[in-house]
Amino acid sequence: MRTAFITGTAGFIGFHLARHFLDHGWRVAGYDGMTSYYDVTLKQKRHAMLAAHPNFTATEAMLEEQADLTAAIGTAQPDIIVHLAAQAGVRYSLENPRAYIDANLIGTFNVLEAARAAGVDHLLMASTSSVYGANRVMPFSERQMTETPLTLYAATKKANEAMAHSYAHLWKIPTTMFRFFTVYGAWGRPDLALYKFIEAAKHGRPIEIYNHGRMSRDFTYVDDLVEAIRLLVDAAPGETPVRGDTLSPVAPYRVVNIGNGVQVPLMSFIEAVEEALGHEMEKTFLPMQMGDVTGTWADTDLLSELTGFRPSTDIKTGIRAFVDWHAEYNGNSKLDPKQAAA
C-alpha cells in the first residue's frame, strides 16, 4: 500500500483528494493548520469524514512550523507528497499580504526541505492559473511567459514554481506543479463565487457581478481535478519528454494545467446557477476588482498526453451537484426565499 502525505486535507481540494486516494487503496497522512480564513467548522467536518477511514491519519499544525511538518512527514514515510495547503484568495491578498508570505513562501520552503529529507518518489505541488497574470493569448499554455502577476497571491505561487524547480535541479526530486483553473464543487470554500451566489440567493440578497458581467472563466469540477492529480502521480518527470512537454532541460520538473478546457462567460455560469435554483437571482453590477482578470482558459493538451484524461464535467452538472450539497449541508430548501416565506 502506497502512502501519500497531503498538506491541506481539511481544505476544499485537499479533502476531496484525500478521499479519492483512500478510495483507490492509498494510505493518506494529512496535514492542516485549521486557519480561520473561513469557517473552521467546515474544515473540521471535512477532517471528521476522512478520520472515519482506517487508512487516514492527520496532524493539525501550521506549515510555518518546520519541526512539526518535518516530524509528521518523517512519521508517515510517504511515497509521495502532494502540497495543496496555502493562503488562498486573490482579493484577500490585498487585505492581508503577510499571510501569503508566511504560508506560501515560508511554508512551501519547509515542504521542499522536508521532501528533500524524506527522499520521496514524487513531489506534486499546487500552483494557480493566476500566474498567467496579464497574458491575453488564450487558451493559456504552460509554455507561456508568466512574468506579469497581478496580485501578491499570484506572485507567491510563481515564486513557488521557481523554488520547486531549484530543488528539483539541486536534489533530483521529481516534481510536478499543477496550475488549477477556477475549481468548484461540493464542500467548496465559502469565499468562492458559487458559494457566495447561493448564500445571497438563500437570504434574498443581490449577487455581486464584477466588470458588469464581462468576464469568463474555465470552471473545473473538483472531482475531475482530483482524478487528474491522481493520474499525474504516476507521470513523474523523468528524462523522456512527451509532445508539448514543459519538462525542464536541467531538472526532473514540469508544469501542467488542470482545467476543463472550456471558456464559459460569467453570465452563462450565473444562468446555470439560476436554473439549478429554479429562480432568477437579483443582480448588482459592479466595476472590475483590483487584481482580477477578465478571462481564463486552460490548454489541457499536456495533461491529456501525460494521463489520457481531460476534465469534462459541464457547468450545469457541476453546479446542480453543488446546489444539492449546499441545501443538504445547511438543511435548507432550494426555493426562492420569497417563496419559502410565503
From the candidates 37, 38, 92, 153, give the one annotated as an active-site residue. Answer: 153
Q: Which residue has the higher pLDDT, 91 or 133?
A: 133
CA 262 to chain centre: 17
CA distance 58 to 98: 26
Chain position carrying cell 487516514: 56
Distance CA 281, CA 203 (A): 11
Is pLDDT of 334 > 80? no
pLDDT value, residue 331: 79
Mean pLDDT of 95-122: 97
pLDDT at 115: 97
Q: Could you tell me the pLDDT band of residue 330, with boundaries at 50, 70 and 90?
A: confident
pLDDT digits (tens, 9 = 90+) for 267-295: 999 999 999 999 999 999 999 999 899 99
3-181+221-258 belongs to CATH 2.40.50.140: no
State pLDDT tens for residues 288-305. Answer: 999 899 999 999 999 999
CA dist., res. 308 & res. 301, Å (int): 9
- Would you state the pLDDT for residue 130? 96
- The per-residue pLDDT of the chain, averaged, comes to 95
Q: Are 37 and 82 in contact (CB under 8 A)?
A: no
Q: Is residue 144 predicted with pLDDT exceeding 60?
A: yes
Specify the pLDDT at position 91: 83
Bridging pattern class, strands 56-60 and 80-83: unpaired
What pLDDT sits at residue 294?
94
Of residues 199 and 94, more confidently modeled: 199
Q: What local confidence, expressed as pLDDT, does residue 204 receive? A: 93
pLDDT at position 227 is 98
pLDDT at residue 336 greater than cutoff 50: no
pLDDT in the model for residue 26: 98
pLDDT the model gives residue 239: 86
Q: Percent of the chain scored above 70 by pLDDT? A: 97
Among candidate residues 291, 283, 218, 223, the one with its CA nearest the CA of residue 257? 218
What's the pLDDT score for residue 341? 32
Reply yes or no on whether the pLDDT at 2 is more than 60. Answer: yes
Active-site annotation holds for 195 = no
Q: Which residues pair with 42 in a beta bridge?
A: none
Homologous superfamily assigned to 193-216+261-296+313-341: UDP-galactose 4-epimerase, domain 1 (3.90.25.10)
Residue ranges of domains in the chain? 3-181+221-258, 193-216+261-296+313-341
Residue 262 clears pLDDT 50, i.e. is over it: yes
First to last CA, the chain: 56
Residue 94 near residue 291 (C-beta atoms within 8 A): yes
pLDDT in tens, 39-96: 999 999 999 999 999 999 999 999 999 999 999 999 999 999 999 999 988 888 989 9
pLDDT of residue 332: 58
Residue 139's contacts (CB-CB under 8 Å, 6 or more residues apart) are: 218, 261, 263, 297, 298, 299
Radius of gyration of the chain, Cα coordinates, nearest whole angstrom: 20
What are the two backbone dihedrals, phi and then psi, of residue 100, each rounded to the nearest 5 degrees? -75, -35
